[in-house]
Amino acid sequence: MTTLISFLGRASADPKTGYRTARYRFPDGATAETAFFGLALREQLAASRLVLLGTPGSMWDVLVEHLAAGSPGKLEEARLSLLEAAERRAVDEGHLERLRPLLEEGLGCDCELVLIPYGRSLDEQEMVLDDLAEIVRPAEGDVHFDLTHGLRHLAMLGLVAAHLLETLRRDLAVEAVWYGAFELRGEDGVVPVLRLDGLVRLQAWIEAWRRFEDDGDYAVFADLIEAEDGDPELAEALRRAAFFESVLNLPDARRRLLGVLERLDRPLPGAGRIFTGRLRERLAWARRGELYEHQRRLAALHLTKGDYLRAAILVNEAVLTRWMKERGFGDVNSQRDRERARREMLEEMREARRDAEHEDFRLLETVRNALAHGSVPEWRKARELVRNEDRLRSELGRILSRLLT
């Protein structure tokens, strides 16, 4: 099932149709001559359902008379009532509902006529979005938007609505967003039909990038890459890298990202092309630096977003990893070696009388254990930290700087 959502505005270029008649050329080369682009698009798409949105001042009367030209006298009283209301720009839902059967007969498909506010205020704009969210049914199938006619700012709302629907309805995909660009007509008078759904995809990438900036999760790009018919292996590598990083398995996360970086030497498909270079820069850490540097970087990220348990774990592990690296002590990826190294590091601190450093590390371990187990530590200093977010954030930041500088 294909649904087309279109807008109806008000124009006076032609006394019979309102809009100027034009010859439109679709991306596949097909052409159609019409005043109402949305009607020609419905035929082109073979849409089984047309949702037409307009304000009380839209030219509903002109559309009805255009479609009912072959049915003179039919529903005459309702048509006259609509004509009178249209002159006052006071069309209501009752007018539209009475004439819907006539439009469905003329269109040869299901038709839904929706009265929307003008969108003068934020409240009215949100009402339009609410209407669109309710109109599109679950499991609707392919949904297309036509932004050609109607008030110009409503076209912008249409683009927002397309992205909103994909966000609210995971079982729905906006197949395309169409615009008959009359202002771009050629010398032969033919008007090109543009597809703007790339802007919907771009908006999705912008939101994904914002989420990535907030939490560093590479997986937010995987679905977008697949939606653009990109490399499924690249998408899966990002998901796997994100998983390994979430369980603090940074060596395996790094190995996955090295493969991702090789693929990013070529631009990502679709809207992802804009973000290819930025993503490559953000993942470049996998090609350089030591493990403790990556642990420190992630600790700072998690501290910033308020994930204090992960921050405490990563600072703790980064301190230990650097100590092992500097002394060539065992394998930093071996849990057995790390436990031995932890004991020796604490003993070295005591013997060297590095009291402040020793206390910081003990405090870090105590806080980490308390956060991990949801317990209240006996050590008063640690207990005060886990009960005060501002102090906990400040102290973890101080320890991170002191022990890893």
Q: Give a yes or no: residue 345 inside a domain.
A: yes
Specify whether 282 is located in the same domain as 297. no
More confident position, 299 or 68: 299
Q: How many residues make up the chain in this entry?
A: 405
Q: Give a yes or no: residue 200 inside a domain.
A: no
**Domain stops at, among 266, 287, 308:** 287
Percent of the chain at pLDDT > 90 equals 42
β-sheet bridge partners, residue 34? 22
Say which range, 135-139, 345-349, 387-391, has the weakest mean pLDDT: 135-139
More confident position, 72 or 363: 363
Q: How far apart are CA 120 and CA 132, in angstroms?
A: 17
Query: How many domains does the chain divide into?
Result: 3
Specify whether 162 is located in the same domain as 246. no
pLDDT band of 221, cuts 50, 70, 90: very high
Specify whether 105 is located in the same domain as 164. yes
Residue span of the structural domain in which 229 resides: 205-287
pLDDT over 70 at 106, yes or no: yes
Q: Give a yes or no: residue 334 inside a domain.
A: yes
Q: Give a yes or no: residue 38 inside a domain.
A: yes
**pLDDT value at residue 239:** 95
Encode pLDDT of 370-397 as tens digits: 999 989 899 999 999 999 999 999 999 9
Specify whether 57 is located in the same domain as 133. yes
Helix (H/G/I), strand (E/B), else coil: 7: strand
Which contacts qualify for 241-247: CB closer than 8 Å, 24 or more apart?
Answer: 242/217, 242/218, 243/219, 245/216, 245/218, 245/298, 246/217
Burial of 281 (0-12, 13-18, 19+ CB in 10 A): exposed
Specify whether 282 is located in the same domain as 391. no
**How is the chain split among helix, strand and coil, in percent rounded to 5?**
60, 10, 25
More confident position, 109 or 174: 109
Specify whether 59 is located in the same domain as 121. yes
Q: Where are the alpha helices (DSSP H) in 117-196?
A: 122-135, 152-168
Specify whether 166 is located in the same domain as 219. no
**pLDDT value at residue 17:** 63
b/e string for 154-188 if b means 16 or more Cβ within 10 A?
bbebbbebbbbbbeebeebebbbbbbbeeeebeee
Q: Tell me the pairing of strands 110-115 and 49-54.
A: parallel
Specify whether 224 is located in the same domain as 353. no
**pLDDT value at residue 108:** 86
**pLDDT value at residue 13:** 58
Encode pLDDT of 111-126 as tens digits: 999 999 999 999 999 9
Encode pLDDT of 173-187 as tens digits: 788 999 999 999 988
**pLDDT value at residue 73:** 65
How much is the mean pLDDT over the chain? Answer: 88
**pLDDT value at residue 138:** 62
**Domain stops at, among 136, 162, 195:** 195
Contact 152, 25 (CB under 8 A): no
Specify whether 303 is located in the same domain as 258. no
- Average pLDDT over every residue of 74-89: 86
Contact 235, 264 (CB under 8 A): no
Q: Tell me the pairing of strands 31-34 and 22-25.
A: antiparallel
Say which range, 71-75, 140-144, 239-243, 305-309, has the weakest mean pLDDT: 71-75
pLDDT over 80 at 352, yes or no: no
Six token digits for residue 191: 């008007």
Q: Give a yes or no: residue 226 inside a domain.
A: yes
Encode pLDDT of 271-327 as tens digits: 899 999 999 998 888 888 788 888 888 899 889 889 999 999 999 999 999 999 999
CATH number, domain with residue 153: 3.40.50.10640
**Domain stops at, among 287, 314, 330:** 287
Six token digits for residue 95: 């007018």
Specify whether 99 is located in the same domain as 247. no
**pLDDT value at residue 362:** 87
DSSP string over 334-359? -HHHHHHHHHHHHHHHHHTT-HHHHH
Q: Shortest CA distance to 34 belongs to which of 142, 48, 43?
A: 43
